[in-house]
């Protein structure tokens, strides 16, 4: 709006910048900072109180949801790097939150599952995470939430369509 006025006045200036990219108007940037803000809120829940990192919590959540899994399966479901999964599993094992058992079907891999302690922690975190989600979404009505979810999905699909799996990295937390 101001630049509009300026251009009226300085029409003939040759060095007028017409093509600036205001980050504030750039939707991918907005998406990024919003995601980070939300991620940090959620991460607080399990980082501060339970000393879990994002990767570790993601693995716990997936194990809680899907039962015993191999690291390969965890890698698929968490969309994390296999090394990150491996390290998270190692930590969980050392803390007694998950156990490894030999995989009868494949001697190379192990089946990972939550231990009793792991379940206890999991069951304490889930309600807290849900509660934080509820508070974050409290300003959106039911319809808006559905819309938002749908828009996110379509954006993700489109992104995948534009380039199959582009140099993935950096999980901002969930």
Which 65-94 positions form the footprint of its own copies (CB under 8 A)?
65, 67, 77-79
What sections of the chain are H helices per DSSP?
Answer: 2-9, 27-48, 54-66, 71-78, 82-94, 116-136, 142-162
Among 45, 46, 55, 62, indicate the residue that binds DNA (CB under 7 A).
55
Are the C-beta atoms of residues 81 and 58 closer than 8 Å to each other? Answer: no
Among 7, 10, 32, 120, indicate the residue that binds its own copies (CB under 8 A).
32
The partner in contact with residue 152, picked from DNA, its own copies, none with C-beta cut-offs of 5 to 8 angstroms by kind, is its own copies
Are the C-beta atoms of residues 39 and 171 closer than 8 Å to each other? Answer: no
The partner in contact with residue 147, picked from its own copies, DNA, none with C-beta cut-offs of 5 to 8 angstroms by kind, is its own copies
Q: How far is the CB of 145 from DNA (least distance, A)?
A: 29
* DSSP-assigned states of every residue in 93-138: HHTTSEEEEE-TT-TT-EEEEE-HHHHHHHHHHHHHHHHHHHHHGG
Asked if 97 interacts with its own copies (CB under 8 A), we say no
Asked if 129 interacts with its own copies (CB under 8 A), we say yes
Binding site for DNA (CB under 7 A): 53-55, 70-72, 75, 81-84, 86-87, 89-90, 100, 103, 106-110, 167, 169-171
């Amino acid at each position: 709006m101001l630049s509009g006025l300026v251009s009226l006045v300085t029409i003939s200036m040759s060095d007028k910048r017409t093509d600036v990219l205001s980050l504030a108007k750039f939707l991918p940037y907005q998406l990024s900072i919003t995601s980070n803000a939300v991620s940090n809120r959620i991460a607080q829940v399990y980082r501060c109180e339970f000393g879990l990192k994002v990767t570790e919590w993601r693995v716990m959540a997936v194990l809680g949801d899907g039962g015993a899994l191999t690291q390969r399966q965890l890698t698929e479901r968490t969309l994390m790097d296999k090394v990150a999964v491996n390290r998270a599993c190692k930590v969980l094992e050392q803390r007694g939150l998950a156990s490894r058992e030999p995989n009868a079907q494949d001697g190379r891999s192990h089946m990972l599952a939550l231990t009793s302690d792991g379940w206890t922690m999991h069951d304490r975190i889930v309600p807290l995470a849900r509660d934080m989600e509820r508070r974050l979404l409290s300003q959106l009505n039911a319809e808006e939430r559905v819309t938002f979810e749908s828009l996110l999905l379509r954006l993700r699909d489109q992104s995948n369509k534009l380039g199959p799996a582009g140099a993935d990295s950096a999980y901002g937390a969930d």
